[in-house]
Amino acid sequence: MAKMLLETNHARLPRALDLQRTMESGQTPTFTWRRESENAYRKLDGNGMLTLAEGKLSLAPQFKRQSLEMLRAQDDLQKIFAKLAEDDAVMAGATSAFPGLRLTKSDAWETTASFIASQNNNIPRIKKIVAGLHANGGFLQPEEILAANLAPLKMGYREKYLKATAEMIARNGFSLEKLARLPTAEARLQLLQLPGVGPKVADCIMLYGLGKTDAFPLDVWVARAMKERYGVESKGAQAFAERKWGSLAGYAQQLLFERARTTTESVLSNRTA
């Protein structure tokens, strides 16, 4: 993890950033950005370039605002992590292990399409599908999805869901942008109306696409962590997260996911060493 200087319109503020861990932590940029070297990433549509060198983050000037928004530069990670770690040994350990893991916020439609494609899928295959959802230097918008031949992407049943969701947005007046202004519980109910969007995908859209940091996506990794670390079963995890972490539940979820994922990778590595 490295310290960086985030340049904003107001000041030069020190922030913690582990660029590789943040960009490859299962959030939207995992699928919509490509790593070009150890600490350099380019957005698949060409609208962004990030490079971390000698503790300083370099941003493509024409995409500076979008890149800072994606990295949630306004979030004071040290304060957030200190709050999570109060009287919580699990969070204290996770924040210590991943001090530069940031939440990200990406385009709502790109996030929706990416996580519909992610269902019961693995990351290399999701990346391939999402790359195929780009054309002419941009991510296919809902109307373009409807006209596109997606068969070569071999999405399986996910193609039907993606096209049906695209139709609701393009032709039936469903607005992702309006959801950002709704309370999280209400936005979740609206998202669950989209074909192929269940509770986990809905919360991923809210957290990574709408910036609702009280959302708590519950996948198999996080469910296992909640059971092992807090003794909470899946059916009670959402309510537990809301009570315990409130507006920081999304950060807690990301830390739990990363801890569970890296611990499992470490165990598998040791077994095959």
Q: Residue 210 is encoded by which pair of tokens?
A: 């709408």
Q: What is the helix, strand, coil percentage profile of the chain, to 5?
A: 55, 10, 30
Residue 123 confidence class, pLDDT cut points 50, 70, 90: very high
- Residue among 41, 115, 112 nearest 71 (CA): 41
Residue 32 confidence class, pLDDT cut points 50, 70, 90: very high
Q: Does residue 243 surpass a pLDDT of 50?
A: yes
Residue 263 confidence class, pLDDT cut points 50, 70, 90: confident
Q: Does residue 192 surpass a pLDDT of 50?
A: yes
- pTM, to two decimals: 0.91
Number of H helices, E strands in the chain: 15, 8
pLDDT in the model for residue 14: 40
Distances (CA, A) of 187 to 29, 176, 177, 180, 210: 22, 9, 10, 7, 10
Q: Which residue has the higher pLDDT, 128 or 55?
A: 128
Q: What is the mean pLDDT of the chain?
A: 90
Q: Which residue has the higher pLDDT, 267 or 214?
A: 214
Q: Does residue 26 surpass a pLDDT of 70?
A: yes
- Residue among 64, 33, 37 nearest 139 (CA): 33
User: Collapsing DSSP states into helix, strand and coil, what is residue 194?
Assistant: coil
Q: Does residue 268 surpass a pLDDT of 60?
A: no
Percent of the chain with pLDDT over 70: 91
Q: Does residue 146 surpass a pLDDT of 50?
A: yes
pLDDT in the model for residue 20: 93
Q: Does residue 185 surpass a pLDDT of 70?
A: yes
Query: pLDDT digit string (tens) for 47-85?
Result: 888 998 877 888 888 888 889 999 999 999 999 999 999
pLDDT in the model for residue 189: 97
Residue 262 confidence class, pLDDT cut points 50, 70, 90: confident
pLDDT in the model for residue 265: 53
